[in-house]
C-alpha cells in the first residue's frame, strides 16, 4: 500500500484518483496550513511587509479611496460591506485563536438532537437533502467520502500564528461540498476593490448557509461540522464531489459557472450517497490554453504541463498539478490592496452557459471537436476588463 493509500481513511474510495485524474506520488505530505500565504503573511518575515499589513488593514479600517476607477471609496465600502457577515463569524473566536471559516472550522450552537431521523432510503433522502441545501442558497452541491489526505496536518492558532492540532472533533464519514456562484458582472471588473465584493458576498453567504445547514443536520440527530477555507483543502474535495475539473489557474472549473465559484463544506455522519467526479474535457482544454498564465501580471501561473515542482513551501508536496507561485501572486495582491482574480476573469469558462454561445462552447469542449472551441477563443483573444465605473452606472438603468 502506498503512502497515499495509507492516508485514505476507511471511508475513501481507493479508486477515486482514477476518476479524478489526481496524480499523487509516494512522497506526498498533507499540507500544513501554517504555510499558506494568509498565514505566512503574519509570521514569515520573507512575506510580511508594510504592503501586506496594509492589505489586511484595508479590509478593516475606514476605506480611503484612490482616484483610480474601481478603487474609490464606494468600491472599498462595497467590498468591506460584502465581507461583513463572513468577518463577523471569523472574528468571533479571536480570543481563542480560532479564525472561523479560514483558520478554524465553524462553531455551531445547535445541540445534536437525541433522536435520530430514521432514513430508510438513503438515495431518496440525498435528493431531498440537496434540495434543502439549495433552498438555503447553495448554487451547487456534491457529496463525497471523507479523505484525510486533504486535511491540513495542522491548523493555525491565530493568536500567535503557530501550528496546532487539526483533529476533527467528531466522527464523520461524508463531506458535503457546496458551490457559491460569484456575480459575473463584478468578476469582469477584476482587478479592483469593486470586483472583490463578488468574493466577499459569497464568503458571507457561505458563512450563513453552512451555519444553517449544520444546525439542520444536528437537529436531525447527526453530527455536522461546518467549514469554509479552513480544516481541509476544498479544491480536491469539490472535484471528488463531482462539482468540476481542475484548471491551470488552480481553480475548480464548473460546467455551470466556470471558475466563478467559491466552495464550502460540511463534515457529517448523516447517511448520504456519494457523487462521482466529472470529466467533460475541461482539464484537457487547459492543456491547450494559457490565457490565465499569460494574463497574470506577476506571471505566477505555469505555462507548461502539470508538475510536482514546489516553488516554495506554499505548494503541497507530492501532487502533480498546475501550481501557482503563491508568493508572486500574493505579492501582487498586496500591491493593489485587494484580491486579484484576473485568472478567473480571462478564463474562457467565465461565461454565461445559459446563452446559446455558452451552450455551444460547452458542447464543443465536451466533444471530439474541442479544437474548435480553442480556435474560437484564440480568435477572441484575452477578454478585456469591464470598466468599474460602467458597473456603477449600470445601477441607474
Ligand atoms: S490571482 Fe492574479 S496574481 Fe494570482 S495567479 Fe491569478 S492572475 Fe495571477
Ligand atoms: S484560462 Fe485557459 S488554461 Fe487557464 S484555467 Fe481557463 S481554460 Fe484553463
CB–CB of 84/72 below 8 Å?
no
Cell numbers found for residue 103:
483558520
Point out the ligand nearest to the CA of residue 382.
2
Take atom 6 of ligand 1 and give the residue whose Cα is closest: 343
Between these two residues, 288 and 63, which has the higher pLDDT value? 288
pLDDT band at 338 (very low <50, low <70, confident <90, very high): confident
pLDDT tens digit sequence for 249-286: 999 999 999 999 999 999 999 999 999 999 999 999 99
Listed range (9-23, 190-204, 317-331) with the worst mean pLDDT: 9-23
Q: What's residue 289's pLDDT?
A: 98
* Ligand 1 center–CA 385 separation, angstroms: 14
Q: What's residue 256's pLDDT?
A: 97
Mean pLDDT, range 223-232, rounded to an integer: 98
1 lies in some domain: no
273 lies in some domain: yes
pLDDT value at 13 more than 90: no
Mean pLDDT, range 316-323, rounded to an integer: 96
pLDDT value at 12 more than 70: no
Cα–Cα distance list, 352 to 183, 194, 239, 272, 348 (Å)? 11, 20, 21, 31, 10
Mean pLDDT, range 154-176, rounded to an integer: 96
Which among 349, 367, 178, 354 has a CA at the least distance from the CA of 275?
Answer: 178
CA distance 253 to 115: 40
109 lies in some domain: yes
* Ligand 1 center–CA 386 separation, angstroms: 17
Ligand 1 neighbour 346 (Cβ under 6 A): no
* Ligand 1 center–CA 223 separation, angstroms: 37
Take atom 4 of ligand 2 and give the residue whose Cα is closest: 292
42 lies in some domain: yes
Ligand 1 neighbour 300 (Cβ under 6 A): yes
Which among 346, 354, 377, 200 has a CA at the least distance from the CA of 259?
Answer: 346
Kind and range of the H or E element at 226? strand 224-227
CB–CB of 226/133 below 8 Å?
no
Ligand 2 neighbour 348 (Cβ under 6 A): yes
Mean pLDDT, range 353-359, rounded to an integer: 97
95 lies in some domain: yes
Percentage of the chain beyond pLDDT 70 is 95
Which among 351, 63, 35, 348 has a CA at the least distance from the CA of 185?
Answer: 351
Listed range (141-150, 296-305, 333-342) with the worst mean pLDDT: 333-342
pLDDT tens digit sequence for 234-249: 999 999 999 999 999 9
CA end-to-end distance (rounded Å), the chain = 62
Q: What's residue 337's pLDDT?
A: 84
Decide: pTM greater than 0.85. yes
Q: Considering its fold, how many domains does the chain have in total?
A: 1
Segments forming the whole domain that contains residue 102: 6-394
32 lies in some domain: yes
pLDDT band at 56 (very low <50, low <70, confident <90, very high): confident
Q: Which atom of ligand 2 is nearest to the CA of 248?
A: 5
pLDDT value at 306 more than 50: yes
* Ligand 1 center–CA 342 separation, angstroms: 6
CA distance 256 to 247: 15
Q: What's residue 1's pLDDT?
A: 40
Take atom 7 of ligand 2 and give the residue whose Cα is closest: 286
| Cβ contacts of 6 within 8 Å, gap of 6 or more | none
Tell how many helices (H) and how many strands (E) occur in the chain: 16, 10
Ligand 1 neighbour 324 (Cβ under 6 A): yes
Q: Which atom of ligand 2 is nearest to the CA of 346?
A: 1
Q: What's residue 62's pLDDT?
A: 66
Q: What's residue 284's pLDDT?
A: 97
Extract long-range pairs of 110-113: CB within 8 Å, 24+ residues apart.
110/214, 110/215, 110/218, 110/219, 111/218, 112/218, 112/221, 112/222, 112/223, 113/218, 113/219, 113/220, 113/221
Cell numbers found for residue 292:
490565465
CA distance 397 to 395: 6
Burial class (CB in 10 A: 0-12, 13-18, 19+), 102: buried
Helices 73-91, 193-219: crossing angle, 10 deg rounding: 30
Q: What's residue 59's pLDDT?
A: 79
Amino acid at each position: 500500500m502506498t503512502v497515499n493509500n495509507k492516508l485514505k481513511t476507511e471511508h475513501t474510495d481507493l479508486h477515486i484518483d482514477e476518476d479524478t485524474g489526481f496524480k499523487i506520488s509516494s512522497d506526498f505530505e498533507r499540507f500544513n496550513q501554517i504555510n499558506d500565504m494568509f498565514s505566512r503573511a503574519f509570521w514569515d518575515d520573507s512575506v510580511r511587509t508594510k504592503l501586506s499589513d496594509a492589505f489586511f488593514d484595508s479590509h478593516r479600517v475606514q476605506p480611503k479611496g484612490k482616484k483610480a476607477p474601481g478603487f474609490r471609496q464606494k468600491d472599498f465600502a462595497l467590498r468591506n460591506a460584502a465581507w461583513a457577515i463572513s468577518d463577523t463569524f471569523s472574528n468571533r473566536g479571536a480570543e481563542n485563536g480560532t479564525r472561523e471559516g479560514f483558520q478554524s472550522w465553524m462553531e455551531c450552537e445547535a445541540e445534536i438532537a437525541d433522536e435520530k431521523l430514521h432514513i430508510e432510503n438513503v438515495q431518496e433522502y440525498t435528493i431531498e437533502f440537496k434540495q434543502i441545501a439549495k433552498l438555503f442558497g447553495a448554487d451547487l452541491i456534491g457529496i463525497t467520502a471523507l479523505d484525510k489526505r486533504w486535511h491540513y496536518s495542522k491548523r493555525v492558532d491565530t493568536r500567535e500564528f503557530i501550528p496546532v492540532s487539526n483533529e476533527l472533533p467528531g466522527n464523520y464519514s461524508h463531506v458535503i461540498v457546496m458551490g457559491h456562484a460569484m456575480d459575473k458582472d463584478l468578476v469582469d471588473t477584476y482587478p479592483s476593490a469593486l470586483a472583490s465584493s463578488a468574493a466577499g458576498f459569497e464568503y458571507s453567504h457561505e458563512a450563513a448557509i453552512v451555519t444553517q445547514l449544520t444546525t439542520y443536520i444536528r437537529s436531525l440527530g447527526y453530527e455536522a461540522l461546518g467549514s469554509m477555507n479552513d480544516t481541509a483543502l476544498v479544491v480536491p474535495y469539490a472535484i471528488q464531489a463531482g462539482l468540476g475539473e481542475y484548471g491551470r489557474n488552480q481553480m475548480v472549473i464548473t460546467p455551470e459557472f466556470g471558475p466563478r465559484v467559491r466552495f464550502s463544506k460540511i463534515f457529517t455522519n448523516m447517511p448520504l450517497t456519494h457523487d462521482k467526479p466529472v470529466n467533460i474535457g475541461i482539464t484537457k482544454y487547459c492543456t491547450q490554453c494559457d490565457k490565465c498564465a499569460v494574463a497574470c501580471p506577476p506571471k505566477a501561473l505555469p505555462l507548461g504541463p502539470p508538475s510536482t515542482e514546489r516553488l516554495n513551501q506554499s505548494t503541497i508536496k507530492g501532487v502533480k498539478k498546475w501550481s501557482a507561485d503563491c508568493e508572486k501572486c500574493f505579492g501582487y495582491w498586496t500591491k493593489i490592496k485587494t484580491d486579484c482574480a484576473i485568472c478567473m476573469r480571462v478564463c474562457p469558462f467565465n461565461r454565461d452557459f445559459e446563452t446559446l454561445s455558452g451552450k455551444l462552447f460547452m458542447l464543443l469542449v465536451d466533444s471530439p471537436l474541442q479544437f474548435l472551441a480553442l480556435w474560437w477563443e484564440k480568435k477572441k483573444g484575452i477578454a478585456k476588463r469591464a470598466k468599474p465605473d460602467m458597473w456603477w452606472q449600470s445601477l441607474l438603468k
